[in-house]
Amino acid sequence: MDPVIHVTGAGVVSAVGCGRGETLDALRRGLSGIGPVRFLRTEEKAFPVGEVKLSNGEMAARSGASPDLPRTSLLGILALGEALAGAGLRDLSGIPLVGGTTVGGMDLTEQTFPAYSRMHDCGASTDAIAAHFGGAPWATTLSTACSSAANAIIFGANLIRSGQAEIVAVGGSESLSDYHLHGFGSLMILDPAPCRPFDATRAGLNLGEGAAFLILESEASRKRRGVPSQAVLSGFGNACDAFHQTASSDSGEGAFLAMRKALGMAGLQPADIDYVNAHGTGTPNNDASESAALRRVFGDRIPPVSSTKAFTGHTTSASGSIEAVFCLLALQEGFIPANLNWTTPDPACITPAAGGPARLRHILCNAFGFGGNDSSLLFSR
């Protein structure tokens, strides 16, 4: 029998707030954090973003970190600090760290280019987070685009399942960068207005930034330490359909396989799922493809589905862990986050949930990356 994997700590920072309290308030009240660029050094001002409302100096002051670190690391330090405290831990002593990011320290390189910052590499951002908390026995970084943080959670869970660790810190962090913004602009999938996932008028995504980390723990370790469980990671799945470098297939094959794998691991049927936190980027391709996958998994009994990217923007590599924390809050507090800005049905898409109070037992959380690298996490009460 596979070991039970508990979530004993969680921390989050995004455009809607720093910490679980501010985040919960924004999700319940339907308060979006998307707006004009404020902190990012860029000449591209036409597109709104989900920027964290703190400067690097303010984040450093809150955490005690150096303001010279990459913004990606500063965001991660805030989120991991909250996760460790929630799990009754003071540092990473004896605890592996698995982080997900793609941008890494690119913001520092943009300030010094053509010279590259010594912290440009993705792994350097994760190492800086680990060093702030006393160093981990080892730290590693996954970079699979927008499924990075979800895959970091899966990687950490497999460390526990295989007996290689009893406690792991897992998640992702991603800051906005000028390269980031122009890169997505070159794909012509940025919306100059607030994004509208699953809406017939959707025209693209809004980029965002943030971080979230979870503390995953075995049943034996949790009992030995005497800490409560916030939820159980009851299943997960990853699949790669390799359909296209950036586009999703019309049938949603990778997404379909990832969700089915998560259900199979958890020993659950589609009817057991009470809510799906969709990847839901607001691009024409993604939302139609994900809808096709949802229809294949659930048939004509699709549970409530919503995308929270109209709250935060698409936080790319960090989205899987940020939205995992949103799912934990939904489970604990009994509500479904609204799918903001949706007004017009599209026959190619599912009709998203309006949001509001709900009795939830099992939640699927989707995170899909370029190249069809698709992951689903299943959290249970």
Q: At 102, phi and psi to the nearest 5?
A: -125, -45
Pairing of strands 97-100, 139-142: parallel
Give all domains of the chain, ordered by start, each with its CATH number.
Answer: 5-225 (3.40.47.10), 233-380 (3.40.47.10)
132 is catalytic: no
Smallest CA-to-CA distance from 173 within 110, 90, 80, 47 is with 80
- Annotated catalytic residue within 314, 327, 349, 362: 314
Query: pLDDT for 321-378, tens place per residue?
Result: 999 999 999 999 999 999 999 999 999 999 999 999 999 999 999 998 866 689 999 9
Q: Which residues of 188-225 are buried (b: 16+ CB within 10 A; e: fewer)?
A: ebbbeebbbbbbeebbbbbbbbbbbbbbbbbeebbeee
Q: Which residues of 103-123 are buried (b: 16+ CB within 10 A; e: fewer)?
A: bbbbbbbbeeeeeebebbbbb
314 is catalytic: yes
pLDDT for residue 247: 65
Pairing of strands 97-100, 167-174: parallel
pLDDT for residue 2: 72
Pairing of strands 335-336, 356-357: antiparallel
DSSP calls for 42-97:
-S--SS-BB--S--HHHHHHHHT--TTS-HHHHHHHHHHHHHHHHTT-SS-TT--E
pLDDT for residue 240: 84
Flag whether pLDDT at 246 surpasses 70.
no
- Annotated catalytic residue within 122, 279, 327, 349: 279
Instruction: Give me 148's structure tokens.
Output: 């990075």
Q: Nearest 5°: CA angle at 141, between 231 and 168?
A: 35
Instruction: Give me 287's structure tokens.
Output: 């939302």
- Annotated catalytic residue within 120, 122, 132, 146: 146
pLDDT for residue 244: 61
Query: pLDDT for 15-64, tens place per residue?
Result: 999 999 999 999 999 999 999 999 998 888 889 999 999 999 999 999 99
pLDDT band at 145 (very low <50, low <70, confident <90, very high): confident
Alpha-carbon distance values, 218 to 6, 45, 160, 199 (Å): 6, 46, 7, 41
Euclidean distance between CA atoms 275 and 135, whole angstroms: 37
pTM above 0.75, yes or no: yes
Query: pLDDT for 188-229, tens place per residue?
Result: 889 999 999 999 999 999 999 999 999 999 999 999 999 999
Q: To the nearest whole percent, how much of the chain has pLDDT over 90?
A: 85
182 is catalytic: no
**What type of residue is 193?**
A
